[in-house]
Amino acid sequence: MSRIALIDITKQFGDLKAVSNMNLEIAEGEFVALLGGSGCGKTTTLRMIAGFTELTAGDITIDGKSVKNIPAHKRNIGVVFQNYALFPHLTAFENIAFGLTLKKMPKKEISERVGKTMRMVKLDGLEARLPRELSGGQQQRVALARALVMEPRVLLLDEPLSNLDAKLRQEMQVEIKRIQKEVGITTILVTHDQEEAISLADRIAIMNDGLVQQVDTPKDIFKRPRSRFVADFMGFSNFIDGTVREATGVAYRVEAVNPGTVTGAAEALSLDVSAQGTEKPYAVGDAVTLAIRPENVAIGFACGNCVRAKIASITYKGTVTRVAAETDYGFSLRADVEDATVIESGGPAELYLPPDKIIVLPR
Amino acid sequence: MPEKQDGIGFKIIALAVYAFMAAPIVIVVLASFSPTSFLAFPPKGLSLKWYYNIFDDNGFVSGFFNSMFLASVATAIDVMIAIPAAIAVTKYHFPGKTALTNFFTSPMFLPTVTFGFVLLQAFSAVRGVPTFYRLLAGHLIIILPYIFRNVVSVMIGFNWTLEEAAQSLGARPLQTFRRVTLPLIKPGIMAGGLLAFLYSLDDATVSAFISDHRFVTLPIRMMTYMEFSFDPTLAAISTVLIALSLGAIVLMERFVGLNIFLK
Amino acid sequence: MRARKNALAAALPATALLSVLFILPILFVAVSGFKQDGTKFYVKFFSDPYYRDILITTVLTALRVTFFALLLGYPTAYFIARSTSKYKNVFLIMTVFPFLVSAIVRAYGWQVLLGDTGVLNQILLGIGLVKKPVKILYTMTGVTIGLVHLLIPYMILSIAGVIQNIPRNLEAAAESLGANRLTVWRKVILPLSLPGVITGCILVFSVSMTAFVTPRLLGGARIKLMSTMIYQEVNAAFNWPMAAAISFILLGTILFFLLAANLATANAMNRLGGGKRA
């Protein structure tokens, strides 16, 4: 089990900077997720750690020793690829045993180690099957076993669950978490799925455009995103630009900019926001963006933090009903509510934004 | 969904074409068993005498071994050259890749007669190269595209991530090639190798210009034999060659499948 | 970059081989030809009708062979591509097999079939259809038959490969919209199979222009094509410079036709959209 340090790493492909001066430290046994959309640099970072891509600048150390100049096949890093990359001409057993046979390990020992690992990932009985005879979930487990049987110092997972259906994905998430805790191996997961990152990782690094936007525990990233990008990524789909007009120790009053583009709004919208959810204290005059999750927006009655709006659409989604509304102040709001019977599409509504559920982000 | 029976017309034409394609081959096999020195129709009996004649001092046996040896050497060398070349143009991306691919297939576009003559003149300017090596040079060139194209076609869809997987498991580059890449491209190598081998075995064009009494290939022996005699010994040796080709294609079908020929 | 070095190293043996044994000899012969005789023999070729006609005959023969190969090959290809699996493999083997049979063997077979005392004439004389043996061997007809036989597998495989990729439900869709079988073929299959037709024709044309063994064995001394002329100038007339000129003129002609065909069809391929891009 090793600790990893990414020191100022950069990767440039011609004109494109895929990864820019990234820094990250991962402790022994920690499970870190690199989370971001396509093109953010997360896969490139993973490939640099594995040794498949050379660094343009910076260094990567494992247990304090630089691996920058060590070729991939000497780094002893386990990789699970997005498409599993199982050797199609070898059985499940042979796939898993592959790395061990390279080391010229005695057959009996190989058999033991492979058997043990196959049991750990719940693959017993499937030794003689070829990859094309295995289901997606089984193939995934073979890929995992193949990497783990080598007892690597680090495990890299490249979007391993993206090819599975929803139910299987949930199951495999539980499995991966269990196995990782059991083996205690330092693990880095690359994914675009925030729910996956949240359920699996000890810490999440959100990436965009080759830069790390925020590194935090899942809880902190979920509740306290520090930038608009991260907030948006984590599901805060309502944003209101504003300026701080009053600041007490416990609350801010923020005035929304672009007030009243729709006729009928006599004055600017002011919202009270609890100061608890903010990172650093803001002062009067600061430019901020307010954000709130759709599930925290409620249908209300005329009140302090209510916003008058016209309902644009109501969509039943099973667990919640999604309401999209155009406010009188020029911005739109999305609310996920349990019961939308009091409103109707095209009609007016007041949407309540609870002060303690709004977060303040720098603009 | 159940398919309507396609026009009977197509079927008839197709069968006629196949009969046409099979005709000379069938005739040759029949002629080889003819007791008379020309094929009578209807045939008047069976005889193996022309097969025995092959072994009489006709130069067929030595020609056969010469051609087999030449084809084996040429194919073996070209396989070792074509595989890295195919890897170069499928695994990597660099400017001029397409041009290089076309370059490697270009001998197919040079008329073999032209090349035969060119080699003749070129080698007569460079004295002292034994006939076998002149032929080898010619064959190395003309059969290369067959191996190259077949290996390229299996490598085009190749999942290169497999090589990275092997690397992550500790495989050195050569180990990766031997245990992962090579087994998976074998069909292409075998198909290409087979075509190349038979092409070299059957080549009479380059050989017509280069081959001489010091190294006679079987096709040349057959052609010169035809110039003064039509007896069915030719049919006998031809039947042997046909059987060889048939055996080869059966092997191909068993181990590799024939879909590779549909490109 | 490491990867690029690997690529160049891998490509090196093939490049070296082709450069030394392929490009070099061609350049040597071409250049020394020009140095010694200039364009004398090329001029002679084009100014002497004896030689000019050979070029024309060769082109015409190639066109004729391509035509017949297409005529016979297309329906066969369609048949294979659309046939159900039980016999398909057999037909595939039967199409590929002639590839593996030497041109000499095939030519010999045609000699036995078409000669004056050959099987065909025996049958025709036997049933009294003709009084004298029909002369097919050592005529252009014989050569054409031999070449069509040699090259039809190329045509079939080219076209069958493409037709196989045309989804069957396209034909069903067209029929459901009211098209009869002829229209289905004309408006759906034909345009979509065109890339295969074009590839096949280019292939057959270029090989028939340059074939040596088949014309030589089936045509004898009287049929004069470019390829057999090269051989004759070397072995009968000992006129190597002329042989060189004919060789390169043949090469030039082939390249010209290939280029023209590629340009002409690039247009057609573009309009057809799908299919593999280079």
Region A6-17 average pLDDT: 90
What is the pLDDT at residue C73? 93
**Is residue B40 situated within a structural domain?**
no
User: Which A residues, 40 through 59, put their C-beta within 8 Å of a C-beta on chain B?
Assistant: 50-52
Locate all alpha helices (DSSP H) within B56-160, ordered by sequence: 60-91, 97-105, 112-125, 131-155
Per-residue pLDDT band for C269 (boundaries 50, 70, 90) equals low
Residue B3 scores a pLDDT above 50: no
Rounded distance between C-alpha atoms, residue A254 and residue A269, angstroms: 8
Residue C187: the pLDDT is 84
B170 chain-A contacts, CB cut-off 8 A: 73-74, 76, 99, 102-103, 150
Classified as helix, coil or strand, C133 is coil
- Mean of all residue pLDDT scores within chain C: 87
More confident call, A318 vs A92: A92
Does the pLDDT at position B42 exceed 70? Answer: no
Question: What pLDDT is attached to residue A265?
Answer: 45
What does the alpha-carbon distance between residue C136 and residue C116 come to, in Å, rounded to a whole number? 8
Q: How confident is the model at residue B9 (pLDDT cuts 50, 70, 90)?
A: confident
The larger pLDDT score, comparing residue B35 to residue C104, is at C104
**pLDDT given for residue C92 in this prediction:** 82
Provide, as residue numbers in chain A, all residues whose Cβ is less than 8 Å from the Cβ of B169.
Answer: 73, 98-99, 102, 146-147, 150
CA distance to A91, A202, A355, B70, per residue, from A336 (Å): 48, 28, 17, 78
Confidence of residue B130 (pLDDT cuts 50, 70, 90): very high
Q: pLDDT-derived band of residue B232, with 50, 70 and 90 as boundaries? A: confident
Let me know: does A10 contact A21? Beta carbons within 8 Å.
yes
Nearest to A254 by CA among A355, A335, A331, A357: A355
Evaluate if residue A253 carries a pLDDT over 90.
Answer: no
Q: Who wins on pLDDT, B197 or B250?
A: B197
Q: Is residue C153 part of a domain?
A: yes
pLDDT tens by residue, C124-150: 888 887 788 888 888 899 999 999 999
Structure confidence at residue B1 (pLDDT): 36
Extract the tokens encoding A216: 């935090």
Q: Which residues of A touch B93 (CB under 8 A)?
A: none
Q: Looking at the complex, does the CB of residue A36 fall below 8 Å from at least one CB of chain B?
A: no
Tokens 């040596």 found at = C212
Under CATH, which number does the domain A4-231 receive?
A: 3.40.50.300
Mean pLDDT score of chain B: 88
Among B147, B146, B139, B141, residue whose Cα is nearest residue B215: B139
- Give the pLDDT mean for B130-150: 95
Query: For residues A301 and C235, which has the higher predicted lDDT (pLDDT)?
Result: C235
Q: pLDDT-derived band of residue A244, with 50, 70 and 90 as boundaries?
A: confident
Going by C-alpha positions, the residue among B172, B156, B174, B159 that lies closest to residue A87 is B159
| Higher pLDDT, residue B230 or C255 | C255
The confidence score (pLDDT) of residue C147 equals 95
How do residues C102-131 score in pLDDT, each as one tens digit?
Answer: 899 999 999 888 888 788 888 888 888 778
Determine contact, residues A238/A329, Cβ cutoff 8 Å: no
Contact (CB<8Å) C157/B107: no
Residue B228 forms contact with C (CB below 8 Å) = no
CA distance B108 to chain A (A): 33
Q: Quick one: which of A46, A13, A81 has its CA closest to A205?
A: A46
pLDDT > 70: what percent of chain B? 92
Please compute the mean of the pLDDT values over residues A130-147 and round it to a whole number. 93
- In CATH, what number is assigned to the domain containing residue C196? 1.10.3720.10
Q: How confident is the model at residue B111 (pLDDT cuts 50, 70, 90)?
A: very high
A11 touches chain B (CB under 8 A): no
Minimum Cα–Cα distance from B159: chain A residue: A85
**Phi/psi of residue A190, nearest 5 degrees:** -105, 130
Return the residue matching tokens 């630009």: A241
The answer, yes or no, to whether residue B85 has pLDDT greater than 90, is: yes
Window 115-154 of A: residues touching B by CB (8 A cutoff) are 146-147, 150
Using CA atoms, how far residue B134 sits from A287, B243, C16, in Å, is 83, 29, 17
Residue (of C185, C186, C156) closest to C77 by Cα position? C156
Measured CA to CA, the distance from residue A239 to residue A231 in angstroms comes to 9
At C156 the pLDDT is 93
Domain ranges of chain A: 4-231, 238-362
pLDDT tops 70 at residue C265: yes
pLDDT at residue number C212? 93
Q: Is residue B151 part of a domain?
A: yes
Cα A234–A236–A239 angle (5° rounding)? 140
Full residue range of the structural domain in which residue B129 is found: 58-262
Across B77-95, average pLDDT: 93
Strand partners for A241: A289
Cβ-count burial of A286 within 10 angstroms (0-12 exposed, 13-18 middle, 19+ buried)?
Answer: middle
Architecture per CATH, domain A238-362, reads as: Beta Barrel (2.40)
The candidate with the shortest Cα–Cα distance to B243, out of B66, B79, B64, B73, is B64
Best CA proximity match to A12, nearest among A46, A41, A50, A43: A41
What does the pLDDT read at residue B7?
66
Fill in the amino acid letter for B144: L
Interface pTM (ipTM) of the complex? 0.85
Given this model, what pLDDT does residue C274 score?
Answer: 46
- Assess whether pLDDT exceeds 90 at residue B219: yes
Collect all residues of chain B within an 8 Å Cβ-Cβ radius of residue A103. 170
Top pLDDT among C267 and B147 is at B147
pLDDT higher than threshold 50 for residue A225:
yes
pLDDT of residue A5: 94
Looking at residue C277, what is its pLDDT? 41
Contact A297, A351 (CB under 8 A): yes
pLDDT band at A279, cuts 50/70/90?
low
How many A-B residue pairs are in contact by the CB < 8 A criterion?
Answer: 61
Does a structural domain hold residue C140?
A: yes
Q: Is the dihedral of CA A163, A164, A169, A173 positive or negative?
A: negative
Q: Do C26 and B141 touch (CB under 8 A)?
A: no
Which residue segment(s) compose the domain that C214 sits in? 40-272
Distances (CA, A) of A51 to A55, A67, B91, B170, C193: 9, 8, 18, 12, 46
Domain count along chain B: 1
For the segment B241-251, the average pLDDT, to the nearest whole number, is: 87
How large a percentage of chain C has pLDDT more than 70?
A: 95
pLDDT given for residue C272 in this prediction: 60
Please report how many Cα atoms fall inside a 13 Å half-sphere around the Cα of residue B220, on the Cβ side. 19
Q: If you average pLDDT over residues A40-58, what whole number do you get?
A: 93
Segment of A235-239, B206-210, B247-251 carrying the highest mean pLDDT: B206-210
B14 pLDDT higher than 80? yes
* Cβ neighbour number for residue C278 with a 10 Å cutoff: 7
CA within 13 Å, CB half, A203: 16
Q: Which of A262-266, B233-237, C77-81, C151-155 has the weakest average pLDDT?
A: A262-266
Smallest CA-to-CA distance from A130 within A172, A81, A87 is with A87
At C271, the pLDDT band (50, 70, 90 cuts) reads low
By the 8 A CB rule, do C159 and C193 touch? yes
Is a pLDDT exceeding 50 seen at residue A77?
Answer: yes
Question: Which chain A residue's Cα is nearest to B168?
Answer: A73
Asked if residue C1 has pLDDT above 60, the reply is no
B10 band by pLDDT with thresholds 50, 70 and 90: confident
**Chain C contact probe: residue of B117, B164, B206 with most C CBs at under 10 A:** B117
Q: What does the alpha-carbon distance between residue C1 and residue A340 come to, in Å, rounded to a whole number?
A: 60
> Looking at the partner chain, which of C4, C172, C227 has a beta carbon nearest the beta carbon of B111?
C227
Q: What is the DSSP string of B176-240?
A: HIIIIIHHHHHHHHHHHHHHHHHHHHH--HHHHHH-BTTB--HHHHHHHHHHH---THHHHHHHH
Neighbours of A83 (CB within 10 A): 16
**In this predicted structure, which of A170-184, B29-43, B88-102, C101-115 has the lowest mean pLDDT?**
B29-43
**Of A76, A88, A102, which is closest to B184 when you measure between CB atoms?**
A88
Nearest to C109 among B24, B40, B125 (CB): B24
Q: In what order do the strands lie in the sheet with A77-80?
A: A77-80, A154-158, A186-191, A31-35, A203-208, A211-216
Ranked by mean pLDDT, the top range of A237-251, B139-153, C166-180 is B139-153
Q: What are A227-243's pLDDT values in tens digits?
A: 889 999 888 889 988 88
Residue in A50, A83, A103 closest to B170 by CB: A103
Domain count, chain C: 1
Where residue B114 sits, what CATH number does that domain have?
1.10.3720.10
Calculate mean pLDDT across residues A276-295.
Answer: 81
Cβ–Cβ below 8 Å for B81 and C13 = yes
pLDDT bucket at C5, cuts 50 / 70 / 90: confident
Shortest distance between the Cα of A331 and any Cα of chain B, in A, equals: 46
Model pLDDT for residues C34-77, shown as the tens digit of each residue: 888 888 899 889 999 999 999 999 999 999 999 999 999 999 99
Count helices and strands in chain C by DSSP H and E runs = 14, 0
**Cβ contact A121:A144 at 8 Å:** yes
Predicted pLDDT of residue C122:
81
Instruction: Tell me, yes or no, whether B71 lies in a domain.
Output: yes
